Structure 1
Amino acid sequence: MNPSASTPLVASLLDAPPPASGIAWLDEARRENRAAFAAGGLPGARVEAWKYTALRGLAQRRFAAGDAAAATRDVDAAAFALPGVDGPRLVFVNGVFRADLSTAAALPDGLSLQPLSQALRDDAEPLRFALSRAALVGHVREGGDAFVQVNAASATDGVVLRVAAHARIAAPVQLVFVGAAADAELAWHARNLVELGEGASLELVEHHVGSGEQAQLVTLVGDFVLHEGAQLHHVVLQNAATTTNLIRRSGLRLHARAQMQLHVLELGGALVRHDLQAELVGDGAQLHTRGAFMPHGRQHVDTQLAIRHQALDTTSTSTWRGVASDRARGVFRGAIVVAPGADGSDANLNNKNLLLSPGAEIDTKPELEIYADEVQAAHGATVGQLDERSLFYLRSRGIPLAEARALLTAAFCRAVLDDLPSGALREHLSALLIAQLPA
């Protein structure tokens, strides 16, 4: 047995048995994942994907399972209001669906949107394939899957979103996950399933917010499946409370000529990790990711991006920016694999990072493996400081040093937001970036 299997965190996550659903295959899957987590424990430094994110401090904490009062917690809806985002919305508070905060009564034709808890009550069978698997779409299990196992054993709510073939959903759909102040340190979990039919299109905004001084442990696991010719624009704004430990795993699967744009902004949290694993399985599939992470104080933000080209003439572009200040730490791993037979693939990954203080640290690791012919591929990563010549230029124009540093840093990060189609949302996210900068 892994020594980490006996830590206080593992013990607290195993204190309660998996929730019983009355659905035989789901209850069995929950028991299997709980047993796997109990045997394997937490990933350690020997697991390559967790090399730069130590869990020693988190492992010594204990969290209560769920929040019995989540349905009545007082939540300010203004905390998750976003300009230009006024379509259907599902809100979850400490992992529990809140109908009173959601707006999903009148959905456009072709859109099915409901909480996972309701989908399981109405007809669980269509979800069997997704929820009974021990791993995400196309993902090969490894030693770092402990939190996926926890999620599979414990998540009772989340999102089931489907867009019918050829349906074009005009208004953006918003998914909100609120970590609300509670009476104890909580662990809660959510599971999302998103599927776009052939030729469908959707804009999806995922928003994480929080309040309160109690620490929380949150796991969020999602599958995204885009069928032939589907188009998805996914925006993720993570601004959780500074005491939140947020661990996410997203599996993306793109079929022929499917296109996905992903914009990610990581601002909040104490320990934040996001594993993004994408498979381009159909000819001509395209994936474009843009992201910025800005840890400060003692924050730790870890992004793991893995893209696998498996079909002809697929394309991926990835542009990520990191800015760390105070004693914060950022981690970015960008891995691209062009599999045998994926001839004509075009892959480009770029990660640039800034350190704004002597105690800050960013570890970046680009990886590229090519097993096909006639491939265009490039990757690069840098870690540095603000350009002194640019600072001098701005200072010579009468701009104070602090303001000059903020201007240059904001411009550095805004490069990942320039192609957001919504001008109002783009300006809002840019303002959040600027507010995050050290004074």
Structure 2
Amino acid sequence: MNLAPSPFVRAALDAAAAVPPSGIAWLDAARRENLETLAETGLPEARNEAWKYTPLRALSQRAFALADAGVANGVVVEPSRYALPGVDGPRIVFVDGVFRADLSSLDAGEGVSLSPLGVALAAQPEPLRFALANRYRRGAADAFAHLNAALAVDGVVLHIAGNAMIAKPVHIVHVSSGVQADTAWHVRVLIDVGQGARADVVEHFVSQGEAAQLGTVVADVVVRDGATLGMVLLQDASASTTLVRRSHVRVEAAAKATVHALELGGALVRHELTTELVGDGARFDSRGVFALSGRQHTDTQLEVRHNARDTASDALWRGIADGRARGVFRGAIVVAEGADGSDASLSNKNLLLSAQAEIDTKPELEIYADEVKAAHGATIGQLDERSLFYLRSRGIPLAQARSLLTLAFCRAALESLPNEALREHLGDLLVGHLPTGPAEALA
């Protein structure tokens, strides 16, 4: 037990005191339990295995007040800030964790129900009880999940009806305004894709200013029997943003979920992406890239659990670090007892573009079943000097040659995205963030 809470925890306790009761007994009880656990355990320390590569000592000494909803409602946000090519369907926008009806378009057509969590709770809270009444039990390792469960008062509830074929992606936007310095915001996301349905979701993180803010997002996703879900996670926050996310994806029988992730911004960013394949024939594919420079720190924790027969997963992730940046990637595959016929593969390749940059990669493989095909691999290296020499011998300047090779290295993780307009845009964003040269170098 922490007898003297850190400034971070003390600020969270103060923020909780300002959150009005929901009037829903089970929800208020869950909030209190999670807050009490956070107060007891505090943030994870260096000896905590789950956080050993992402030290939080400096963060624990900072105090973030809860973002003011009135201020967030008054922030002017230009739609161009979050507009994406190929994404022109229903949209729900949060500014500093506050739902903005004026920036959102919730009319998603037949087969789609999209609403703020606050509205859904007011209308019919009981169907949300299973997701929102969870009590995390890992203590300090789950500190940010406890924080989110205690303080998130709004979020997203998205339901896709059974057998619905949704043509346009649903766009979930989180904007850090930069107006409220040293503040925190917290959002819950609940997504349910009905049996036999087909849908795409784009979750998008952007910043409008440079003021330091902390954001937490906890997402629970269920893909029902025979359904297909495509998800794109685009994180392009400011260099002063701290962002901690947890996503849990449950894939049922003969269903498929695919995730494409691009991590570009943020000062300290962590994403825990856990997928459970719980039905026979379920499949999960993931593709991801992080491109870091300066003193950025990004930590991706990917875990895929095969809990049923004849399930499949394929993960391909790329990382780039320049300057004094640090990237962390943990990729774990767990094949449970009885999950015979599982086919799992994971590849993580990384490039260091400076002597001061660091990338830590940790592949893990646990198999408790027979008749399983599984493979994983991880590499850390530098750009191939022979390829650089070849390009330079053809008259290409060094900076442009480095950019060309770096971009080619990363594009393998994005080329399978079926939305062509969005795929090209993500490539352009990646080029703009490449630490080895400006975007015009590839024109």
| TM tier, smaller | over 0.9
The worse-fitting range, judged by mean Cα deviation, of 123-132 and 269-278 is 123-132
Q: Is the 8 A contact 2:7 2:60 kept in 1?
A: yes
Q: CA deviation at 1:45?
A: 1.5
Q: Is the 8 A contact 2:37 2:139 kept in 1?
A: no
Q: Is the 8 A contact 2:41 2:139 kept in 1?
A: no
Counterpart check, 1:206 vs 2:208? no
- What's the counterpart of residue 335 of structure 2? 338
Counterpart check, 1:15 vs 2:14? yes
Residues 190 and 170 (structure 1), Cα distance of their counterparts in 2 relative to 1, 3 Å cut: same
1:377-423 CA-to-partner distances (Å, cap 9, x unmatched) read 00000000000010011001000000000000001001101111111
Rounded to whole Å, the distance in 2 between the matches of 1:55 and 1:19 is: 29
Counterpart check, 1:229 vs 2:226? yes
Counterpart check, 1:132 vs 2:133? yes
Counterpart check, 1:70 vs 2:72? yes
- What's the counterpart of residue 38 of structure 2? 37
- What's the counterpart of residue 182 of structure 1? 179
Q: Is the 8 A contact 1:219 1:246 kept in 2?
A: yes
SS in 2 for 1:6: coil
Rounded to whole Å, the distance in 2 between the matches of 1:263 and 1:433 is: 13
Q: CA deviation at 1:285?
A: 0.3
- What's the counterpart of residue 358 of structure 1? 355
1:2-401 maps to which residues of 2 (within 5 A)? 2=2, 6-16=5-15, 17=17, 18-68=19-69, 69-104=71-106, 106-135=107-136, 141=138, 143-401=140-398
Tell me the C-alpha RMSD between the 2 structures.
1.1
Rounded to whole Å, the distance in 2 between the matches of 1:43 and 1:419 is: 36
The worse-fitting range, judged by mean Cα deviation, of 382-391 and 115-124 is 115-124
Q: Is the 8 A contact 1:173 1:205 kept in 2?
A: yes
Rounded to whole Å, the distance in 1 between the matches of 2:140 and 2:336 is: 23
Q: CA deviation at 1:108?
A: 1.7
SS in 2 for 1:176: strand
Rounded to whole Å, the distance in 1 between the matches of 2:231 and 2:193 is: 12
Rounded to whole Å, the distance in 2 between the matches of 1:337 and 1:411 is: 31
Rounded to whole Å, the distance in 2 between the matches of 1:405 and 1:241 is: 25
Q: CA deviation at 1:142?
A: 5.3
1:418 equivalent among 395, 410, 415: 415
1:82-126 CA-to-partner distances (Å, cap 9, x unmatched) read 00100000000000000100111x322111100101111111111
Rounded to whole Å, the distance in 1 between the matches of 2:158 and 2:179 is: 29
Rounded to whole Å, the distance in 2 between the matches of 1:347 and 1:10 is: 40
Residues 15 and 142 (structure 1), Cα distance of their counterparts in 2 relative to 1, 3 Å cut: closer
Task: State the AA in 2 paired with 1:119.
Answer: A
Q: Is the 8 A contact 2:327 2:359 kept in 1?
A: yes
1:111-164 CA-to-partner distances (Å, cap 9, x unmatched) read 1100101111111111111101114xxxx7354100000000000111000011
Rounded to whole Å, the distance in 1 between the matches of 2:45 and 2:2 is: 9
1:248-278 CA-to-partner distances (Å, cap 9, x unmatched) read 0000111101101100000000000000111
Q: Is the 8 A contact 1:351 1:380 kept in 2?
A: yes
Q: Is the 8 A contact 1:281 1:309 kept in 2?
A: yes
With the length of structure 2 as denominator, give the TM-score of the two structures. Answer: 0.96
Task: State the AA in 1 paired with 2:85.
Answer: P
Q: Is the 8 A contact 1:237 1:264 kept in 2?
A: yes
Q: CA deviation at 1:76?
A: 1.3
Rounded to whole Å, the distance in 2 between the matches of 1:118 and 1:87 is: 21
Q: CA deviation at 1:2?
A: 3.5
Rounded to whole Å, the distance in 2 between the matches of 1:193 and 1:268 is: 24
SS in 1 for 2:370: coil
Task: State the AA in 2 paired with 1:362.
Answer: I
1:184-210 CA-to-partner distances (Å, cap 9, x unmatched) read 311110000001111011010010000
Q: Is the 8 A contact 2:42 2:140 kept in 1?
A: no
- What's the counterpart of residue 409 of structure 1? 406
Rounded to whole Å, the distance in 2 between the matches of 1:22 and 1:234 is: 34
Rounded to whole Å, the distance in 2 between the matches of 1:129 and 1:66 is: 27
SS in 2 for 1:144: helix
Q: CA deviation at 1:28?
A: 0.9
Residues 130 and 89 (structure 1), Cα distance of their counterparts in 2 relative to 1, 3 Å cut: same
With the length of structure 1 as denominator, give the TM-score of the two structures. Answer: 0.97
1:214-241 CA-to-partner distances (Å, cap 9, x unmatched) read 2111110000001100100000100011
SS in 1 for 2:292: coil
Task: State the AA in 1 paired with 2:98.
Answer: V
Q: Is the 8 A contact 1:19 1:156 kept in 2?
A: no
List runs of 5+ in structure 2 lacking aligned partners.
438-443
Rounded to whole Å, the distance in 2 between the matches of 1:305 and 1:44 is: 21
Q: Is the 8 A contact 2:81 2:208 kept in 1?
A: no
Q: CA deviation at 1:425?
A: 0.7
Aligned residues: 433
Rounded to whole Å, the distance in 1 between the matches of 2:132 and 2:57 is: 30
Q: Percent identity?
A: 62
Q: Is the 8 A contact 2:324 2:358 kept in 1?
A: yes
Q: Is the 8 A contact 2:178 2:213 kept in 1?
A: no
Rounded to whole Å, the distance in 1 between the matches of 2:358 and 2:197 is: 42
Residues 185 and 143 (structure 1), Cα distance of their counterparts in 2 relative to 1, 3 Å cut: closer
Rounded to whole Å, the distance in 2 between the matches of 1:390 and 1:416 is: 20
